[in-house]
Amino acid sequence: MAQTLQETAAPVGRVGRPRRFESEDELRLLLDAALVVMERNGYADAAVADILREANLSTRSFYRHFESKDQLLCALCRREAEGALLRLEAKVGAAGNPQAALDAWIDEILSFGHQQVKAARVSVLSSPGAMKAEGYVEETQHATRVLMAPLERLLADGLADGSFPLADPVADAPLIQSVAWAAAGLSPMQERVLSRPEASRRVRSFCERALGATPFR
């Protein structure tokens, strides 16, 4: 007996609503919107619904990428750290010698506390609410490592060519990073925010003495 049309037709799967954006673009929109909402409301009061409204995306879009707001924050921290690393490597790489490279590294780190857009981002990503997020400690440790890597390399270059005769790259890099971070006004123990010129002068003075370098020009 001939099969009926219903019996011979291939099964039709349910077709969901097509994505409006490619996955990478969708992720970028979510992270960009999260920054806007967090800078406006603070991390604790930045609801996922507010982020989705800012991004003009659906709840499904959020859960395609993240299981929680904490996970989104960690992704945002990772993106900001990697962007900062690209800027650092470009500036350090363009310097003509280790001392100029250190100067460029210091200037970029100080910009996190003194350049308005960067300072606003650092403020929200290091707020008390954000610091309680699951995975936050690991992301800040990662950021510290990646920002310190160019510093450690340029210190090794300076030791090799005599620019920094007293340098111990592995031991000195964390100390210099801590001094620069505090001078930028980003240390929780910092009581007074220094002007950028004063912050720059203090960090460079510390580096000259610690590394045995000639005074920065």
Helix (H) or strand (E) holding 152: helix 136-161
CB 33 within 8 A of CB 54: yes
Positive/negative CA dihedral, 216, 175, 113, 202: negative
Model confidence pLDDT, tens digit, residues 60-70: 999 999 999 99
Above 70 in pLDDT, residue 18? Answer: no
Q: What is the pLDDT of residue 123?
A: 87
| Mean of the per-residue pLDDT values of the chain | 86
Phi, psi (deg, nearest 5) at residue 154 = -70, -30
pTM: 0.81
**What's the token pair of residue 133?**
């997020």
